Amino acid sequence: MRVLKSSITKKAVRSVKKITRSTAMVMYRKQLSRFHKNKAGNNIIITQRNVVIGTDDTWFNAQEIDRNPAWVQVPDASYVWSSRDLGAEVAVVSKQFTLSSRRRVRNASLLLSVDNYAIVLINGRFVVYDTPQATVSFFNPGRTFDVRRFLRRGQNDIVIIAFNFGGRRTIDNPAGVAARLSIRQS
Ligand SMILES: [Ca+2]
């Protein structure tokens, strides 16, 4: 009984350990190299002034999932999880897009709804770096971040590392992430 108890405690501690920034960077680079190897062909080129990029099946390693009734509806974005393993504790999804070299980014925001927490990088820089937690406001109503300074003309990438708090994604412990980038250019 004592052994069982201690192993459960160890497991719980392991599953909520915060990952370091360098580990996150390794995951970021691995995701991009996987994307390039797969030539996933989801690099979209944006020439219009206003653009909205929401998570869906076209994101690399993303599979659309049903929205949990507790999660906020995110217009122009679907909830996704890892297409490699829908039961995974961690989902890494990404998108590449190219902004016109003739326009300037005037405003850019990221709306993020995640069950439960996330690390988000744009062009290799940390936009969101959550500590392990299960906070309701993270998926309802979600959070908005100003990301203008992270974007640049030409090619950009966004990588979302989403975590389920407490282990694998199950019916009893759902997980999902929906994100929407809204960019206004000159
Ligand atoms: Ca969860």
Domain residue spans of the chain: 19-185
Give the SS3 label for residue 38: helix
∠ CA 182-183-184, nearest 5°, is 130
Phi, psi at 159, each rounded to 5°: -125, 125
Helix (H, G, I), strand (E, B) or coil at 65: coil
* Contact present, 108 and 181 (Cβ < 8 Å): yes
- Phi first, then psi: what are they for 98, rounded to 5°? -115, 120
Helix, strand, or coil (residue 30): helix
Q: Judge if pTM exceeds 0.85.
A: yes
pLDDT band at 84 (very low <50, low <70, confident <90, very high): very high
Q: What DSSP string runs through 103-156?
A: S-EEEEEEEEEEESEEEEEETTEEEEEPPS---GGGTTT-EEEE-GGG--SEEE
For the segment(s) 19-185, the CATH number from 2.60.120, 1.10.10, 2.40.128, 1.10.287 is: 2.60.120
pLDDT at 41: 54
CA of 116 to the centre of ligand 1 (A): 5
Answer whether residue 125 shows pLDDT above 80.
yes
Distance, CA 42 to ligand 1 centroid (Å)? 28
For residue 76, the CA-to-ligand 1 centroid distance in Å is 23
What pLDDT is stored for residue 3 in this prediction?
Answer: 44
pLDDT of 5: 44
**What's the gap in Å between 51 CA and the centre of ligand 1?**
30
Q: 């005037």: which residue's tokens?
A: 106
Q: How far is the CA of 166 from the centre of ligand 1 (A)?
A: 7
Cα(37)–Cα(31) distance, rounded to whole angstroms?
A: 10
Ligand 1: distance of its center to the CA of 107 in Å?
A: 32
